[in-house]
Amino acid sequence: MFSNGLDGLVTGAISKCWKTEIDTQTLVAVLTGKEDIAAWQPHIGLFFSELPIDAAVSFILKHGLRGPALRGSYQAYLAWGGDPNPDLEEWIDG
């Protein structure tokens, strides 16, 4: 079951289409390179492509995810053939 608040909204939104739910701890670990990103490819794809930018940015800031690890996760998403998200890209690079 998903938790309440921002974390619950984000993990719920990126898990809704998949049999496996991603929790906050796992999502943070994947976005920081501490967990295998390939195992969560569909969820990460939704995080970078479908999640409203304000929700993604709020989650990133809440969990202190700025930096090279986040950029690496985004690059991995693009390498899988993910669609660029110019707004999020600009924020990540900003």
The pLDDT, as a whole number, for residue 37 is 87
Instruction: State yes or no: pLDDT of 94 exceeds 90.
Output: no
Q: For the whole model, what pTM was predicted?
A: 0.90
CA separation, residue 41 to residues 21, 25, 94 (Å): 12, 16, 25
Instruction: State yes or no: pLDDT of 64 exceeds 50.
Output: yes
| Radius of gyration of the CA atoms of the chain, in A | 12
- Average pLDDT of the segment spanning 27-39: 93
Check if the beta carbon of residue 33 is closer than 8 Å to that of residue 20.
no
The structural domains of the chain, with segments of one domain joined by +, span 5-93
Q: Write the CB contacts of 52 (distance below 8 Å, at least 6 apart in sequence).
A: none
The pLDDT, as a whole number, for residue 2 is 43
The pLDDT, as a whole number, for residue 17 is 85
